[in-house]
Amino acid sequence: MSDQIERLKVLTAGVLSLILMVGIARFSYTPMLPIMQQQAGLGISDGGWLATINFAGYLCGALIASLISDLLIKDRLYRIGLVVAVLSTAGMGLTDNFWLWSVLRFLAGLSSAAGMLIGSGLILNWLIRHNYHSELGIHFSGIGLGIVVCSIAVELMSPYFDWNEQWLLLTLIGSLILIPAWAWLPPPNTSALTNNGEAMVDAPPSRTFLRLFMVSYFCAGVGYVVTTTFIVAIIDQLPGLEGKGIWTFMIIGLAATPAAILWDLFARRFGNLNALFCASVIQIIGILLPVIGAGLFWTIIGAILFGGTVVGMVSLVLTMAGRYYPTRPAKMMGKMTLSYGAAQIVAPAITGLLAERNGNYNNGLYLAAAMMVLGSVILLMLKVIERREAQALQPTN
Give the residue extent of every domain in the chain.
Answer: 2-184+203-386
Q: What is the pLDDT of residue 191?
A: 65
Domain 2-184+203-386 in CATH: superfamily? MFS general substrate transporter like domains (1.20.1250.20)
CB-CB contact of 320 with 268 (8 Å): no
What pTM, to 2 d.p., does this model score?
Answer: 0.80
Q: What are phi and psi of 185, to 5 degrees?
A: -100, 110
CB-CB contact of 293 with 299 (8 Å): yes
Does the structure show a pLDDT above 90 at 183?
Answer: yes
Neighbouring C-beta atoms of residue 332, cutoff 10 Å: 26
Strand-pair partners of 199: 193
Q: What is the pLDDT of residues 117-176, one digit of tens each?
A: 888 888 888 887 877 776 677 888 888 888 888 888 998 998 899 999 999 999 999 999
Name, in order, each residue with C-beta under 8 angstroms of 338's C-beta and a sequence gap of 6 or more: 59, 62, 63, 66, 214
CB-CB contact of 150 with 28 (8 Å): yes
Alpha carbons 96 and 69: distance in angstroms, whole number: 39
pLDDT confidence tier of residue 274, bands split at 50, 70 and 90 = very high
How large is the average pLDDT for residues 194-203? Answer: 65
Which of 349, 254, 322 lies closest to 56 in space, CA to CA? Answer: 349
The burial class, CB within 10 Å (0-12 / 13-18 / 19+), for 5 is exposed
How large is the average pLDDT for residues 74-88? Answer: 94
* pLDDT above 90 as % of the chain: 31
CB-CB contact of 94 with 128 (8 Å): no
Alpha carbons 151 and 182: distance in angstroms, whole number: 24
